[in-house]
Each structure stands twice: as structure tokens, then as C-alpha cells.
Structure 1
Amino acid sequence: MLSALLDPLLLLELLSLGLVAGFLAGLLGIGGGMLMVPFLTLILGQRGVPADMAVKMAIATSMATIAFTSLSSVRAHHKRGAVRWPLVQGMAPGIVLGGLLAGAGAFALLKGQVLAGVFGLFVSFSATQMLRNSKPTPSRQMPGLAGQTAAGTGIGFLSGLVGAGGGFVSVPFMTWCNVPIHHAVATSAALGFPIALANTLGYVLGGWSLPPALPGAFGFLYLPALVVIAAASVTMAPLGARTAHAMNVAQLKKAFAVLLYALAAYMVWKAFAG
């Protein structure tokens, strides 16, 4: 089926994107969406998908792949005892609520150019947080259950608008609350699954009646890309997670932040060009 829907160049592009995104998801807890969305937008646009729809399909397809990547990544982190499961339980209900509100509501209503601009702004924020490496107040702690639910709602909603797994907000938030970086990355990877599940369900509901933009597309989801990227990223996420526990990722985070600024600039350009 895939061979009939994907030409060799497209297959190679999607495989490469999935491998890199999966590795970074395990390494930095970012879900891979910040990397996938700009490149998927470019790939879909080159194949004749209108700019507005290309951005939305890239965001939705990216988010759907995170459901698979997060499971693979969190398994590796859990083996090392790094996942703070009480925090996952506290934030997950809000994440599901925020994801459904974004995926089934705001996402379908907003124009693709607006979503591209939002994506660019929040990726820039994430890159800045990576570069700052600021130290939190020693006495600051994670909020109680109500605060965790509220934080989860915001993370789920923002993730649904930009197609990222939430690590671009949840990792800085948890480290700001003095959760050690390796635990924050591992817990963010675990939060990626409810984020992806809720938002993908919202995208399906929001795009149910849309005609396919490409062969193999279903509403906002581009199923061939989902299959290829998910398969590739799942194989690389555990390697990224193992690498995160074996090295100081500070230098890599700085280099990745520079890449994020470039990707953010591209998405902001798409917003204004549209």
C-alpha cells in the first residue's frame, strides 16, 4: 500500500525525518514535533497541498506520530527509574482536556497561517529556554494537584495548536520547579502519550468531513507519513533516551536551539507569506 502512495524520494525524506525526530524525542523529551512540523509542511507543500492545509496536516500528522514515539521513549526512561509517575498522573487529566479543546475546536477554526505563526513563536520560546539554562529558586516546588491539572491543560492545548509533544513547555516548567533535568525529560516523554492521543482524536473529529488533500490523507492526517515516521522514530527513541543518561546534553541542546530558531523563522515566514 505504501509503495503505491509514496515515491522513493518521499519515502526517503520521511524515513530520515522519523529517525532524527525519534532520536531527539528520546534525548531531549521534546516529542520530535518541533522538528517534524516545518519539514512536513515543506514536503507537503512541494507536492501541491495548499499552504493552509499543509500546515494543518503537518501539525496533525506530527502529533499522531508522537503517540508511538513517546511509548518507545518512556519505556527506556522508565527502566532507569527516571519517570515521575505521580506528576504524570497529576497533569494527565488536564492534558487530555486541553488536547481535546485544541484538536477538536481551535485547530479546525484557526487558519494554517495563524497556526504557523503560533508554532514559530513557541519554538522560539523553547529554543530560548534551552540557551538560558537559568537556575530556579531552590525553594520552588511543583504545585499541588489543582496546579498540575491547570498546567497540564495549558500544555495540552498549546501542544495541540503546534503539533509538538509538550516537552517544549513541560520540561522548562518542571525544571523551573526544581525537578532534575533527567527526570523532567523522562516525565515529559511519558506525558507525550496522553497529549498525542487526545489531540489526535480531536484532529480526527475536526477534520472528519474534509476531502483528502493527497492519496492516503484522512482529514488533517496524512496516513502514509504517519506510518513511515512512526516506524522510524520508534526505533530511534530508545537510543536517544539511553544517550540522554550517558552524556551531558548541554552542548547538544545549544546546537539544537540554533536549529530551532531557523525552523521557527521558516514557519513565521510561512505565516506571513500565506
Structure 2
Amino acid sequence: MEITASPAELLQLALALLASGAVSGLLAGLFGIGGGAVVVPIMYEALAYVGVDESVRMHIAVGTSLAIIIPTSLRSFLAHKRRGTVDMALFRSFAIPVPVGVVVASVVAAVISGAALRGIFAAIALVVALKLIFAREHWRLGADIPGNPSRAIVGSLIGFFSTLMGIGGGIITNAYMTLYGRPIHQAVSTSAGVGVLISIPGAIGYMWAGWGNPLLPPLSLGFVNLVGVLVVIPTSILMAPVGVRLAHALSRRQLEIAFGLFLLVVAARFSLSLT
């Protein structure tokens, strides 16, 4: 594939990806998300900038995001775990259902269109954003998170939709846990662990889904582009602990509103891309 961007444009692209890495790492620690909600739209625009075909652009953005999420999720999860705020019982109960959902989503990713991926991203982000911004204390699905089979089904759905969105599952896991009365800080911490369960099999799945596609840009393993991974990961790793410290310094309501506003911006961006 011919790269049409000039050296100056490629430098701007690299700087944009470095900035996205810093923001994604910060968000990984702050909201318990892998940062994919930031990386995916920026990566999508970056790939368009250098002339990657539209039919694979979103797939590469999502697959690369999942690969980038691996180290940031791991570091964020371990930092929260050291503080003792991770619900390890819930995390262990998700250990099988979440990866199962990831595998199914990887198969779907091999045939779904880029527009459909963007639509899924926007719809879920909007619903969760509205829930967080307009949340009331009496909004509850129950007094505590139910056991199986309900928990296993939810875990599979978290893995499935998060993999199609290219995120670490924090968006959905946060909403799920808080609707069952769990403290937002515990939800954030546990979501970081769910990101580990999603990102590793998810990245492998997108490699498989895109393997051999003739429209891939250089240095791609299936739908995972190594340039994007190598540029974004270092800054995201450095910023994740900063986000963790901020998360534990904010109140529950401050964290909810900030997360909700962030998701509204993301939903609007992807909705506009469908027009």
C-alpha cells in the first residue's frame, strides 16, 4: 500500500498518537478503562490520514487499541489491587465468561462492517454516559450483583461488546457494578482487571480476523498495526499510575460526571462519522 502522507504529516501523526497514549493511560487509571475509547477514534483518523482503505480502517483501529490496552490494563489493575479495592470474587467469576464473549466477537469482527463497529461504539457509550450523568442513588437493579447464570451471561456480553468496540470493558463493567450498588471506586478498580481478560484474547482474535487481508497497511499483524502499538504504549504505561491517584482523590459523583461527559464526546464523534 502506498503511503501518501508527507514527512511533516507523519510527524504530526506520531505526535497525535503519543498524545493519545498519554490520555489513554491517564483514563486507564482514572476510570478503570483501557483507554480504547480515546485510542480508537484517534487511530481511526490517523489511518485515514495516511490513506488506509475505509473497509479495514475501523477494524485496525479497534484491533490495535486492544493490543495497546494490554499493558495499561495490567498496570492499572495491579495498582488498584495493591490498594485493596478490586472485587476479586467478581473478577474470578468473570475469568471464563468474559474471554468466551471475546472469542465470539473476534469471529464477528471478521465479517462485520466498519460502520457497524462505529455504530455499536456510539450507542453503548451514549447509554452509559446518560446513566452516569443523570444517575440517582435510587437507580438500582438490585441490592447486590447476582450469581450465576446471570453473572456469566453478563460477563460474556461485556467481553463481546467491548471487543467490538476496542475497549477494555470498563465502560460497561462500571455501569453494571454501580447499578448493583457497588462503590464507584471498587467498580473502577475491578474494571481494570476485566480489561486484562478482554485485551489479551481480543488482540489475538483481531490478528486472526484480519490475517492475510490485502488492504492492511505495512507492519500489521492482521488487524493489529505494530506502529500504532509501539508509539502509544510507552506514554500510556507512564500515565496509568497518575490516573489511579486521581481516581482515589475524587468523590464518587465527581468521577461519575467526568466519566459521563467523556463518553458523550466519544458517542458524538462516532455518530458524526456515520453521517
Could you state the TM-score of these two structures normalised by the residue count of structure 1? 0.91
1:140 aligns with 2:138: no
Kindly indicate whether the alpha-carbon contact (under 8 Å) linking 2:17 and 2:42 is maintained by their aligned counterparts in 1.
no
Inter-partner Cα distance in structure 1 for 2:142 and 2:46: 47
Inter-partner Cα distance in structure 2 for 1:154 and 1:221: 23
Matching residue of 2:76: 73
Kindly indicate whether the alpha-carbon contact (under 8 Å) linking 1:67 and 1:193 is maintained by their aligned counterparts in 2.
yes
Inter-partner Cα distance in structure 2 for 1:250 and 1:223: 38
1:180 aligns with 2:190: no
Kindly indicate whether the alpha-carbon contact (under 8 Å) linking 2:184 and 2:252 is maintained by their aligned counterparts in 1.
no
Matching residue of 1:205: 208
Matching residue of 1:108: 110
AA paired with 1:176?
L
Instruction: For residue 154 of structure 1, report the CA deviation from its aligned partner.
Output: 0.4
The structure richer in helix per residue is: 1
Inter-partner Cα distance in structure 2 for 1:259 and 1:174: 19
Matching residue of 2:34: 31
Instruction: For residue 264 of structure 1, report the CA deviation from its aligned partner.
Output: 1.7
Matching residue of 1:122: 124
Inter-partner Cα distance in structure 2 for 1:266 and 1:133: 23
Matching residue of 2:231: 228
Matching residue of 1:157: 160
Instruction: For residue 95 of structure 1, report the CA deviation from its aligned partner.
Output: 0.5
Inter-partner Cα distance in structure 2 for 1:257 and 1:88: 24
The root-mean-square deviation of aligned C-alpha atoms, in Å, is 1.9
Note the residue ranges of structure 2 that are not aligned, 5 or more in a row.
Answer: 1-6
AA paired with 1:47?
V
Matching residue of 1:57: 60
Q: Deviations over 1:35-86 (max 9, x none)?
A: 1111111111111012231111111111111111111101111111001111
Inter-partner Cα distance in structure 2 for 1:167 and 1:74: 11
Inter-partner Cα distance in structure 2 for 1:75 and 1:255: 23
Q: Alignment partner of 1:145: what SS? A: coil
1:260 aligns with 2:263: yes
Inter-partner Cα distance in structure 2 for 1:62 and 1:161: 11
Inter-partner Cα distance in structure 2 for 1:45 and 1:68: 26
Could you state the TM-score of these two structures normalised by the residue count of structure 2? 0.91
Note the residue ranges of structure 1 that are not aligned, 5 or more in a row.
Answer: none
Inter-partner Cα distance in structure 2 for 1:180 and 1:252: 11
Matching residue of 2:100: 97
Inter-partner Cα distance in structure 2 for 1:218 and 1:58: 13
Q: 1:215 aligns with which of 203, 213, 218?
A: 218
Q: 2:18 aligns with which of 12, 15, 19?
A: 15
Inter-partner Cα distance in structure 1 for 2:43 and 2:67: 13
Identity %: 36
Instruction: For residue 96 of structure 1, report the CA deviation from its aligned partner.
Output: 0.4
Which of 254-263 and 50-59 deviates more?
A: 254-263
Inter-partner Cα distance in structure 2 for 1:108 and 1:62: 16
